[in-house]
Amino acid sequence: MLRQFRGVLVVLLASVLPGAAQQPLAEQQLSFQMETFKNVTGVHLAVASATAPSDAECRADFGVPCYSPQEIHNAYGLTPILKAGYTGKGETIVIIDSFGSPTITQDLKAFDASYGLPDPPSFTVLAPLGTVPFDVNNSDMVGWAFETTLDVEWSHAMAPDAKIVLLTSPVSETEGVQGMPEFLALENFALDHHLGNIVSQSWGATENTLFTPAGQKVYQGFESMYERGGQQHVTFFASAGDAGTANPDVNGTIYPFPTVGYPASSPKVTAVGGTSLYADTSGNYESETVWNEQGGATGGGVSQEFGEPFYELLTLPFSTQKILRLHRGLPDVAINADPYTSILVYVNFLPAGQNGFYFIGGTSEGSPMWAGIIADTNQLAGHPMGFLNIKLYALGGSGELYDFFHDITVGNNSLDGIPGYDATPGWDPTTGWGTPKLDHLLRALANLQ
């Protein structure tokens, strides 16, 4: 999540690439940016231009990569799947966000044009609970607009021929019960109307903030909805969070012990953690570590609300069972999330002179990217994957882990002095089974019964 998991002051890169249409931001624009983005994690200005800078230009001018969709495809083995024609055709991805973005339709077109991607077969924005006017001076709305942009553009980047339905809420989801009933209503709406077989949830609340009577109703409502979605063969993804094990209460105070976020902690959801991906400017994979840099880290750990699901109990070794102690461990899988091993989004909802491509990061990348991945898988299989974790743990624990996943064994997710978890061989509470080798994983998933 860009903001709801953690508020980090953005480091603004004010310079632009040589030949870009805009000059460096004026002092008053810098002031606007710093105030507006003070609660937005991992958003940094790349260039005020409608054309995306190349990865090589980003490395030369800013000292960080900006991986294109094609580089991400190459790094994770998706390119041969897409070239074989498995591009999410016939599938629909459902995205849930607060507020949305007033320019998301044209921004997706600009993103696609810059990277040579086709427009999706259809892109629909629905607001069954109503809307509120977008206020560019409201940092919360701006944060959600960036979140929406990331979710839409990068789910599409991973499944360019899948349809997309964006469902927006007029209430901001923050911590505790706030905003969660509205999101539950949207997801029930999606199931009632059979909008799609894949749902991306790039947001969450610290589990402990729902340990109240009202919070327990939230748990019960979501778990019932996930059960119903499973019966309809819907796959649910949730981002694991951007604060490592140091998550806040409803007042913004960090709990003095390790915590995790919900809905990622639900045993009925596939939780996606984050890495720092190192690849060359062609997207050739080099290495990965647990994302833990510049004040952010991947969420992950042990649930205090949910018992250990059977697929973990039967698959994970005794050394891991000593950590879990019969509770749900997360995440299940991971993908790039580090704002300093970045991807880009295109936005046009800011004041004049401040729009263009932005570096972005956080585990919010993970949920939409994996949603796109499973859209491709559904097409390949000829049927929806539905609940994914049983299949993922069967493959991860099969003795052929390295055929299907990049096993992340370097790093931990301790943050702000709160103890975290170390990456280890096999599954661990930082990156789950690891990041995908999609040319092998997708075909294996498609062949599993």
Active site residues: 147, 151, 364
What is the reported pLDDT for 124? 98
pLDDT, greater one: 400 or 278: 278
The rounded percent of the chain whose pLDDT value lies above 70 is 89
Q: What is the pLDDT of residue 16?
A: 30
CB 339 within 8 A of CB 304: no
Residue bearing the bigger pLDDT, 430 or 36: 430
Q: What is the pLDDT of residue 244?
A: 96
CA distance 208 to 303: 9
429 pLDDT above the threshold of 60: yes
Residue 293: the pLDDT is 87
- pLDDT exceeds cutoff 90 at 233: yes
Q: How confident is the model at residue 99 (pLDDT cuts 50, 70, 90)?
A: very high
Residue 423 confidence class, pLDDT cut points 50, 70, 90 = very high
Q: Residue 229: what pLDDT?
A: 98
**19 pLDDT higher than 70:** no
Q: Residue 418: beta bridge partners?
A: 415
Tens of pLDDT, residue by residue over 290-301, are: 999 878 999 999
- Please name the residue that has the structure tokens 């809905």: 263
pLDDT reported for residue 15: 29
Strands 205-206 and 123-126: unpaired
Q: Which of 303, 311, 310 is nearest to 328 (CA)?
A: 303
Task: Assess contact for 3 and 178: CB atoms under 8 A.
Answer: no
Neighbouring residues of 240: CB distance < 8 A, sequence distance ≥ 6 = 260, 261, 264, 271, 272, 273, 274, 298, 299, 300, 330, 331, 363, 366
pLDDT at residue 403 is higher than 70: yes
DSSP 22-70: SPSPPHHHHHHHHHHTTT-TTEEEEESSSSPPPHHHHHHHHSS-EE-HH
Categorize the per-residue pLDDT at 22 as very low, low, confident or very high, splitting at 50, 70 and 90: very low
pLDDT computed for residue 48 by the predictor: 63
Longest dimension (CA), the chain: 59
Domains of the chain in sequence order: 27-447 (3.40.50.200)
- Least confident interval from 391-395, 401-405, 410-414, 419-423: 401-405
- Tell me: pLDDT of 4 over 80: no
* Average of per-residue pLDDT across 210-223: 97
- Indicate the DSSP class of residue 207: G
Whole-number Å distance between alpha carbons of 108 and 105: 5
Q: Is the pLDDT at 2 greater than 50, yes or no?
A: no
Closest CA to 438 of 285, 306, 299, 290: 285
Per residue in 23-66, pLDDT (tens digit) is 222 222 323 333 334 344 455 556 667 789 999 999 999 899 99
pLDDT of 295: 81
Residue 32 has what pLDDT?
34
Q: Is the pLDDT of residue 278 over 70?
A: yes
147-163 residue pLDDT tens: 999 999 999 999 999 99
**Confidence at residue 70, expressed as pLDDT on a 0 to 100 scale:** 98
| Angle made by CA atoms 41, 47, 51, in degrees to the nearest 5 | 120
Exposure string of 204-213, with b = 16+ CB inside 10 Å and e = fewer, is bbbbbbbeee
CA angle 412–266–287, rounded 5-degree value = 30
Report the 10 Å Cβ neighbour count for 403.
Answer: 12
pLDDT at 50 (0 to 100)? 75
pLDDT of the residue at 352: 86
Looking up tokens 């942009």, which residue turns up?
149
Say whether pLDDT at 13 is over 70. Answer: no
Q: What is the mean pLDDT of the chain?
A: 90
**In the predicted model, what is the mean pLDDT of residues 423-428?**
97
